[in-house]
Amino acid sequence: MSSPIRRVLSSTVGTKLLIGLTGLALFVYLIIHLAGNALIFAGQDAFNVYAHALISNPLIIPLEIGLLLLFLVHIYKAITNYVKNLAARPEAYDKKAYAGHTSRKSVASSTMIVTGIIVAVFLIIHVKQFKFGSYYQTVADAGVRDLYRTEIEVFSNPFWVAFYVMATLLVGLHLRHGIASGFQSIGFDHPMYTRRLTMWSLVLAVIISGGLAAIPVWVYFTH
């Protein structure tokens, strides 16, 4: 990376471009992740075959490194950006009110840094519990991991069910502002679609976090 590009990407606009691009890429990943994990509803075999197909694909390592990089850039940029933004107003207002009118300020938009950090911590636990969690072999083929069993094991504990539901709801809150904000940051603007995007952010956030939260709840009550 040449020096002028690095300088440009560290500007306020360049920073937001990077946060927006990586955020939207992570959002796309999350849709794929949810779609794949929803195979748990199709039963043990379908889920394990899918998990095995993923893990045995030679592209999985570069993709995982890419995914990790997306997370690292997104988190690093968001935290440094947050610190710089705090410095931009050293003296706080005695009284500050919601401007109303056309403002899109929401609980979600005001808590991005908090929900983001909690979700990041959750992801470490999540990866440890599943990717690096208890390893079982399937009966049919010793080379295939029985990830289904691992999942049933984790979600038989009501603590983990509650933990995952809470975490996925925070993911939803993060997405509720994040999706529309990401598009705005990368410069997407359209007289009609920009307004709809705010609404679609909410709809997609509800679908994704609802879908993610449904998995542990379903496992707990059916197994």
Binding site for other proteins (CB under 8 A): 5, 8-9, 11-17, 81, 84-85, 87-106, 109-110, 112, 177, 180-181, 184-189, 194
Shortest spacing between CB 77 and other proteins, in angstroms:
10
Q: Looking at the DSSP assignment, which residues form a beta bridge with residue 137?
A: 145
Q: How far is the CB of 117 from other proteins (least distance, A)?
A: 16
Sign of the four-CA dihedral 23, 38, 205, 217:
negative
CB-wise, 41 or 193, nearer to other proteins?
193
Q: How many whole angstroms separate alpha carbon 26 and alpha carbon 50?
A: 21
Query: Is the CB of 93 or the CB of 221 nearer to other proteins?
Result: 93
For other proteins, give the closer residue by CB, 62 or 100: 100
Convert 25-80 into a string of H (helix), E (strand) and C (coil).
Answer: HHHHHHHHHHHHHHHHHHCHHHHHHHHHHHHCCCCHHHHHHHHHHHHHHHHHHHHH
- Residues contacting residue 41 through CB under 8 Å, at least 6 positions apart: 218
Closest approach of Cβ 28 to other proteins, in Å? 19
Q: 168 vs 185, which CB is nearer to other proteins? A: 185
Minimum separation from the CB atom of position 76 to other proteins (A): 14
